Structure 1
Amino acid sequence: MLDQFFSQISFVDIFNFCVFITFTICYTYQLYYVLVVLSRKPKQLVAKKNHRYAVVVSARNESAVIGDLIHSIKVQNYPTELIDVFVIADNCTDNTADVAREAGAIVFKRFNTEQVGKGYALDYGFKIIRSQYADRGYEAYFVFDADNVLDVNYFREMNKTFDNGAKASTSYRNSKNYDSNWISAGYAVWFLREAKFLNQARLTLNTSGAVSGTGFFIAADIIEKNDGWRWHLLTEDIEFSANSILEGIRIAYTPTAVLYDEQPVTFRDSWNQRFRWAKGFYQVFWHYGARLAKGVFTNPKGSRFACYDMLMTIAPGMLLTIVSVVFNAIIIVLAATGAMSTGVMIASSISSIFFCLFNYVMFMFLFGVLTTFVEWDSIHAPTRKKVLYMFTFPFFMLTYVPIALVALVKKCQWKPIKHSISVDVEEFSEAQQGIAAQK
């Protein structure tokens, strides 16, 4: 009986089983993260001192939104004399510099068509700040994107984290245009899931979080040690996170510091942005993957799991899905052309493709539903759209499959994403205060 069973197993079955086991072994721990978040609350911090900060913003043709960000910084429930705002107007062809200056920022104009990207612009800004404003004694630097706006308590809450010894911390990333369409909602749910079910779990378990593009601070001594911002890959935020974890620096998370981010609303912009992210993740994996794998066994005990967690974050897990689908599609094509004639293999390949894609869609649907319900009050959208976008979220995530595939073979050039949505930060803050009161 057993011999008959094994005689029916083909190399196709073995391959698909190995892919499934690899996925299960590598990522099951993230289900434990969900249980941690649902069963335990993060520790509340208290600050003994207000610290002095510099805000650094890289902006390219952001005149429509840069004023909102600066205004949201100026109205913080935190001593305004302890926050200076610096804007790097990077290769701008509009009046971003003038708008930022009128809003109260110190502006540096940068024109460099050779070194293109946020990482280079940040490094340019840090070098000027450290050389011309060193006497102001900044203790940490905040990094935002020009389209962000901040809850009025953002700096007060982040100051608690810094005052308690954190060298870097990211924050709660919400969306200011969740209800624009299924694309912006897809981004929003993904970042809410990242904040709640990844970084908050990491915070609770006292391991390291990861910086995600915007809304984070870095202690001044880290910038001094690295002589500025030396992370210049396409996803400089993930590169910084991987490098920090390897050096034993824990990236904290501040769930009570709320930032609102503008998401793309066209599929073209979304494709360009996520293509750059996919390419950037490949770059980080290529540069840091081996060192992180080694760090799982050789780093100090307190950071070994963080190395594993970051390795799984940058590992091209999507490629396993792509490889599985392509492999089984090839088997079907070979069978159709007569090169193979095993009906069992054909049936196995067809069922494997369906199983792979169906499982991916269902997994993303469940995560979208869970995130939406847990963060329901924090999402600024009508009920009908919250419900609708739970169903569109897995298909938004499914579009990552061709993006990840194209990113393997195509070169990437940085392309700007147009931002134009202006919001009333006071209105958002009042809503956030109501949510906090309910909790």
Structure 2
Amino acid sequence: MFKLYAFILIAGFYTFGVFTRGWDDAWQFSTYLVLLLVQSIAIFFVGYQTIMSYSGLRRFRKTVVKKPANKFAVLVAAHNEEEVIGQICENLKQLDYPNELYDIFVICDNCSDNTSEEVKKSGVHAMVRNDPGKRGKGYGLEWMFDKLWELEKQGTAYDAAVMFDADNLVSKDFLKIVNSKILDGHDVIQGYLDAKNPHDTWVTKSYSFAYWSTNRIYQLARENLGLTAQLGGTGVTVTTKVLKEVGWGATSLTEDLEFTQRYILKTGKRVAWAHDAKLYDEKPLGFKQSFKQRIRWMQGHFDCMTRYSFPLLKDGIIKRKFMLIDSAIYLAMPSRSILALILMIFAGLSYMGIYEANGFLGDIIDRSILFDGWIYGIFVFFYISLPILAMILENKGKKLHWFFISYLFGLSWIPVTLLGFLKKNQKEWAHTKHTRSVSIEELETMHTKKDVLYGQNPIE
């Protein structure tokens, strides 16, 4: 559908050029309009995100912890995770929450290794699923929810389901915090996504920088503004009431993103962000592995964008619900690196006067520069300052030099985005192998030592 829209747009520009400028200048004029459109889109997204993020950059206030009241089904999605599954099972058994108020279930989904045996050794429920025709976490979770409804008929009912990945580690107060959020009236909650191995390689540093900054300038900012957070694939809590009323129904390559849009469209309620409910996620070590992972993310992102952007925008306007419009903009927004690069290119062209070159190309660029280079520079400065400010607020100030490798890594989103768009209709799920096995105590000690080493305090 989007390919058709792009063809119609370009054809429309060319036809307009023919009627207004004649056949000889039609391609030049249509190129000029395309360049203007690219700049206008980039300026809109950069300006919008900058204003929203700065508006929501308030001081973080810890969740007021309430008395444990909700019973949780803690679900761990696992596919061939025998190397790491034991660590999260032990981690979850030691959470600071009454044992009688939560049960742990590991979904051993189409495993060909000893994942289920490792789960059983830890004393946790191993839920074995074999359905090669329906592979992926979305299908596994859908299957598990049916199992929960069966348990409910047998007398074991849960108030909410909490979902993690096999490579995660979870802060001990995680359930206490999401329990408090539910008691505050929220039905869907996303926990803080931290890095399990931030110092390993330049790739893990780039991922970690992106997650830390996004947690602050997007997720927490939206929470402070009363808008919806976006589910991040793990650390997700959903009440069983919502699962029954709305249904999971999210089986795309990015089931978290899909469920977010379905939930806010059907209920008009937002996803809450729990900034102090932390989980640690293993980041890919190598560029090749991360490239494949991000292509899968973008396939799912474009799939959701094509299905939900217009309904969100339409309902947001009709119902005067800005939250829906904001989420539609999120689905359509390119990566930070791509947006900053576009504006820096046009800033350079404007400031250096290259557009004054004679001939066909010079005339096109001359006509397609919207603003003076200094204005572009102001846009870029405030936009790029957002992740830097976020790192300082997250007590990661001594890691600010990671910004440079993070930005270079971010430029790889250009081919990733293109390939994700071209493959958006492909649904083949690819497994990301995890190998980092460490206890939550060792991980938190390591993070604390790193913070002390760099002259910082842990996140409060």
TM-score (norm 2): 0.79
Query: Partners in 2 of 1:277 and 1:158 — Cα distance?
Result: 26
C-alpha deviation, 1:201, in angstroms: 1.2
Give matches, 1:152-231, under 5 Å: 152-227=172-247, 229-231=248-250
CA deviation vs aligned residue, 1:108-136 (integer Å, no higher than 9, x gap): 11111111111001111111121135422
Q: 1:391 to 1:364 in 2, by over 3 A?
A: farther
Distance 2:277 2:430 in 1: 29
Distance 1:79 1:24, change over 3 A: same
Give the letter for the 1:232 counterpart. T
Structure 1 residues 21-420: aligned runs within 5 Å: 21-42=40-61, 44-134=63-153, 135-227=155-247, 229-247=248-266, 248-299=268-319, 301=320, 304-315=321-332, 317=334, 342-345=360-363, 366-377=385-396, 386-410=399-423, 411=426, 413-420=428-435
CA deviation profile, 1:162-207 (whole Å, cap 9, x unmatched): 1111101001110011111121122222222222111111111112
Residue identity opposite 1:424 in structure 2: S
Amino acid at match of 1:317: P
Q: Using the aligned pairs only, state the percent identity.
A: 27
The amino acid that maps onto 1:423 is V
Quick one: distance in 1 between partners of 2:286 and 2:386? Answer: 23
Shift of 1:408: 2.3
1:54, 1:138 within 8 Å by CA — same for their partners in 2?
Answer: yes
State the distance in 1 between where 2:76 and 2:216 align.
25
Alignment partners' CA distance in 2, 1:231 and 1:119: 6
Deviation of 1:242 after TM superposition, in Å, equals 0.6
- Work out the CA distance in 2 between the residues paired with 1:155 and 1:282: 33
**Paired residue secondary structure (1:62):** coil
The equivalent of 1:17 in structure 2 is 36
Other structure's SS at 1:104 match: coil
Whole-Å separation in 2 of the counterparts to 1:284 and 1:105: 34
- Is there any run of 5+ residues in structure 1 with no aligned partner, and where? 1-6, 329-339
Q: 1:183 to 1:363 in 2, by over 3 A?
A: farther
Change (3 A) 1:41 1:389: closer
Counterpart-to-counterpart distance in 1, 2:150 and 2:262? 25
Question: What residue identity is the alignment partner of 2:217?
Answer: F
Question: What are structure 2's unaligned runs of at least 5 residues?
Answer: 1-20, 22-27, 347-357
The residue type equivalent to 2:298 in the other structure is A
The CA RMSD measured in Å over matched residues stands at: 3.4
Pick the aligned partner of 2:438 from 423, 431, 438: 423
User: What's the CA shift for 1:156?
Assistant: 1.3
- Contact in 2 for aligned 1:59/1:87 (Cα 8 Å): yes
Instruction: Tell me by how many angstroms 1:245 deviates.
Output: 1.2
SS at the partner of 2:190?
Answer: strand
Once residues 88 and 421 of structure 1 are traced to their aligned partners in structure 2, the CA distance between those partners, rounded to angstroms, is 20
Q: CA deviation at 1:216?
A: 1.2
CA–CA separation in structure 2 for the residues paired with 1:260 and 1:251: 20
CA distance in 2, matches of 1:152, 1:432: 16
**C-alpha spacing 1:348/1:399, structure 2 compared with 1 (3 Å):** farther
The amino acid across from 1:409 in the alignment is L
Q: Secondary structure at the match of 2:60?
A: coil
1:263 to 1:146, Cα distance in 2 relative to 1, 3 A: same
Give the 3 Å change call, closer, same or farther, for CA 210–343 of structure 1 in structure 2: closer
Are the counterparts in 1 of residues 299 and 420 from structure 2 also a CA contact under 8 Å? yes
CA–CA distance in structure 1, aligned partners of residues 395 and 142 of structure 2: 38
- Secondary structure of the structure 2 residue equivalent to 1:114: coil
Please give the alpha-carbon distance, in whole angstroms, between the structure 1 residues aligned to 2:367 and 2:413.
Answer: 22
8 A contact 1:142–1:216 mirrored in 2: yes
1:225-252 superposed Cα distances (whole Å, 9 cap, x missing partner)? 245x311111110000011111212211
Contact 2:395 2:459 in 1 (8 A): no
Give the whole-Å Cα distance in 1 for the aligned partners of 2:377 and 2:306: 30
Letter matched to residue 208 of structure 2: A
**CA–CA separation in structure 1 for the residues paired with 2:224 and 2:383:** 24
- CA shift, 1:49, in A, is 4.0
- TM superposition score normalised by structure 1: 0.83
